[in-house]
Amino acid sequence: MSFAVFLVYVFLSFFRPIELFVPEVAEYRPMLVLWSLGFVLAGARAIARKEVAARAIDFKLLFAFMAMLGLSLALNGWVGGAFAAMNDFTTSSMLFVLVALNVTSLRRLKLTCAAVVLSMLFAAGFGIQAYHTGQFVDQLVLRQTAPQHEDEDPSRAPPSAAAEIPAQDQTGWYLWRVRGQGFLSDPNDFSQVLVMSLPMLFVLWRQRAWLRNLLLVVAPGAMMIYAIVLSQSRGALLGTASLLFFIVRDWLGTTRTAILGGLAGVAFLGASAVGGRGFSSQEQSAGERIEAWAVGLELLKWRPLWGVGYGNFLDHNPLTAHNSFVLCFAELGLLGYFLWLGMIVLTYRSLSTAIEVLPARSPHRQMVVLLRNSLLGFLVCAWFLSRTYQPVLYFLLALCVSAWWCASNAPGMTDQESPRYEKLHKVTWVKSTLLLMVLSILAVRAFVFSHQMGRGG
């Protein structure tokens, strides 16, 4: 019962049919009611079975990070805002807990991934039809002025640019960007979750079952990729490319995959797959983002340990950081950055260790590989989006931790005297986190330096 409620909650969270079809019902907070019911039922089950799909260290890092949000404000002189900051993060932290309480077996993990994929297929399908037919266009397609016309008088826009069917607008005055509903109403968020969902499709892949693979994996995957293209999110296109690299690399090898990826990148640019939104740092939008990264570095220098405080980046720059890593170290300093990256590094290294010790054809290993790819694709997108505190990241981290937990309970993995057991349960992460902190900050600095040199300054 509790898991069925959880699956319904997951599906409705990503697809959001209530907002789309019966928005008047939203005022009764049905999602909050469903979440509360699911949490109580799952909590009772976990207590009865003494079963939670996460380790103590996972919860310690999560709640230490949550405390750091409040501490960052208190240390910047706003003690009263500490509780509000931690309360803001409750949705994300409790979503992590909800997944840990529910996803306690391989079957449950697969069903949860299926619920995510199905919901995003519905969201992608409705977004595509809105783009081509105009139905639900106000809800599912965002209209923005194209970069080349941003400084022009809006009254000069050709009348046909306001077409009710985005696919028929040929003027080039606007960008029409497919999106979802709720927390996916930003096209970048929508496409990031599509990138996250793509590897989950491959749980249905079967060797030499070509018709099945075509219908259940290739066709749905193509629809999701098309929705990503229509979202016109540059970060999501790079995230998709990173996924393809890791997936295809196993078949073709690193060198041939790199060559193929380069050719695909040229094809994307040549076809103007992102509606003229350039990838160069000298393009206005991209340039403004990198300038925001420069501000983030300056804030880190100013307040290196605890940052300028949760939610305060906009007090120092008119635009958000447009980079989850920059936003974290600018607002929370090195202490908060260590906790945030620590959660990610511990999860990633846990998955990588599970891949090393599990048998090659193990179904547990398959899920671990797919979810590690989802995490990698999501993080590539996060490099271009300020999503440090958003719920989807912690939902995905919880799924990955659950995959590790299921792997640790797989046949042949529970013998505590086995070297595989010891390796799987003694995952080191502190040194890797510190190294990644340094490398990521240097990478941001390199982007900023390259941008400044390109501008002649």
Instruction: Look at the block and give the residue holding tokens 């937990």.
Output: 405
Per the structure, the complete domain to which residue 430 belongs is given by 57-102+278-457
Assigned domain for 283 exists: yes
Assigned domain for 252 exists: no
Contact 447, 290 (CB under 8 A): yes
Assigned domain for 433 exists: yes
Give helix 106-133 / helix 219-231 axis angle, nearest 10°: 50
Mean pLDDT by 10 residues, the chain (457 residues): 93 93 88 92 92 96 97 92 93 96 96 96 97 94 83 71 78 89 93 95 89 94 95 89 73 57 52 47 66 96 96 93 96 98 97 93 93 94 93 97 95 85 92 97 93 69
Contact 363, 204 (CB under 8 A): no
Kind plus residue range of the DSSP H or E element containing 145 = strand 141-145
pLDDT of the residue at 264: 54
Assigned domain for 72 exists: yes
pLDDT of the residue at 375: 96
Instruction: Report CA-CA distances (Å) from 5 to 41, 42, 62, 392, 423.
Output: 9, 9, 24, 19, 35
Selection from 143, 145, 146, 236 nearest residue 188 by Cα: 236
Instruction: Report CA-CA distances (Å) from 448 to 296, 307, 314, 321.
Output: 11, 20, 19, 13
Integer-rounded Cα radius of gyration of the chain: 22
Contact 407, 358 (CB under 8 A): yes
pLDDT of the residue at 456: 60
pLDDT of the residue at 421: 87
Assigned domain for 217 exists: no
Number of structural domains (the chain) is 1
Assigned domain for 350 exists: yes
Contact 124, 28 (CB under 8 A): no
Assigned domain for 231 exists: no
Q: Tell me how far apart the alpha carbons of residues 288 and 150 are, in angstroms, rounded to a whole number.
A: 14
What is the phi-psi region of residue 175: left when phi exceeds 0, alpha when psi lies from -120 to 50, beta otherwise?
Answer: beta
Assigned domain for 40 exists: no
Q: Tell me how far apart the alpha carbons of residues 145 and 175 are, in angstroms, rounded to a whole number.
A: 6
